[in-house]
Amino acid sequence: MASRTLTAQRQRALEILVRLKRLYPEAPCTLDYTTPVQLMVATILSAQCTDERVNKVTPALFERFPDAPALAAAELPEIESLIRSTGFYRNKAKNIQAACRLIMVEYGGEVPSSMEELLKLPGVARKTANVVLAHAYNIHAGVTVDTHVKRLSNRLGLTQHADPIRIERDLMQLLPQPDWENWSIRLIYHGRAVCNARNPACDRCLLADLCPSADPTKVVAAVVSDVAIAPSLEVLSLE
């Protein structure tokens, strides 16, 4: 990006961030876990699966196999049986066990706390690594890009790329580092509640006046004050 264009993009991205924080004041991780290895496992399971479904599966999984040593020594078919409903369960089970075995051999049973080391683990790509680093270690090494973040970042004109790594790089240029992870969570909330893939509700979107993709036939006026109606928690819980 040229310097002037980058500055303008940063200003717009910051305004979007401010409004997202107003809409969604709390931005916790939506996966249930108590340890870094449990967060890693839950995030691996969340691929092509909703967090809600993962959170229904992990209590039994973590009761039976609570840590890396237990998962590393488990019978693979038992892991598969416990995670079957998350989809792609054979590949996920194989990666989870392989990652835990590598954690035992190379990292003393502890999930590593650097992007470089996390990416060496089977089943761990940048999305999973970013989630683990941010929520387990409070290290903001990048921006988590899932399908919602990819779609909304393009709709908002913050990137023109389809590749998640290139989208992540664009967003890292535009956003303050401490907000990299909560940006993703808030954008996911907004994608579920307002800017859905098939029929975005531009008429009740707090970001409409900042969005080059907003449907002008739906947007009566840009709502930028505190009287804007935030999406209800009931709507957020549907997915």
127: annotated active-site residue: yes
d(CA 25, CA 22): 6
Burial class (CB in 10 A: 0-12, 13-18, 19+), 133: buried
d(CA 212, CA 210): 7
Coil, helix or strand at residue 226: coil
d(CA 35, CA 70): 14
Burial class (CB in 10 A: 0-12, 13-18, 19+), 205: buried
Structure tokens at 228: 């804007």
Name the active-site residue from 146, 203, 209, 215. 146
d(CA 148, CA 159): 13
Residue 212 zone, left/alpha/beta (φ > 0; ψ -120 to 50; rest): alpha
146: annotated active-site residue: yes
Coil, helix or strand at residue 173: helix
Q: Choose among 189, 184, 183, 219: nearest CA to 204.
A: 219
Active site residues: 127, 146
